[in-house]
Structure 1
């Protein structure tokens, strides 16, 4: 059974699909981290640089296929499209209140 997507993860996915970098960054805590297959980008400036090069800057699209919950983490299986990486990925979101503290991307 697919769990419901929580608000912080939904906000980031919606911002990515709208190619809205500012809204995407606003969804993270001040010390938020993106872990993209083991490469970590911490804080808004580093996340923006990564996103401009590899995510929103590549017109990413994320089609959610499944959502599961494991404790305080939300795991989203999505089909990734756009002008960069294309294919299935798992996005794990850890939250701190209404914001994402960590987004981990894996196969």
Structure 2
């Protein structure tokens, strides 16, 4: 597995430790998150997404694989938390694809691998 950039590591560490401010510091001011078909533009909407979809249900990520391709970083992580797991695979794996600018997350796409 490759060495991940600090902002990508901060995204997962802050999520796992429920640290909203540290989570937001990993992103650029005008960042874009695409979580499946939902888009979150800018830090304020990303803050709300994090509070409801990550911290609000105590999501915990466990990175299982990571690689760099064409300047983007892809991370496969299993996740658990206090959310409805009905009809979800076990383990639940998601791929997070990060595009960075100036060392911070400019774009994040979350999808199934």
Pick the aligned partner of 2:101 from 81, 96, 100: 96
- What runs of 5+ residues in structure 2 fail to find an aligned partner? 86-91
Q: For 1:55-95, what per-residue CA distance to the aligned partner results, in whole angstroms no more than 9, with x for missing partners?
A: 12211100000011112110000001111366110001110
Q: 1:83 to 1:36 in 2, by over 3 A?
A: same
* Count of residue pairs the alignment pairs up: 106
- How high is the TM-score relative to the length of structure 2? 0.87
**Alignment check: 8 A CA contact 1:55 1:84 kept:** no
SS at match of 1:55: helix
The structure with the largest alpha-carbon Rg is 2
- What runs of 5+ residues in structure 1 fail to find an aligned partner? none
Mapping 1:63-74, distance limit 5 Å: 63-74=62-73
- Give the whole-Å Cα distance in 2 for the aligned partners of 1:71 and 1:94: 10
Off by >6 Å, runs of 4+ in structure 1? none
SS at match of 1:44: helix
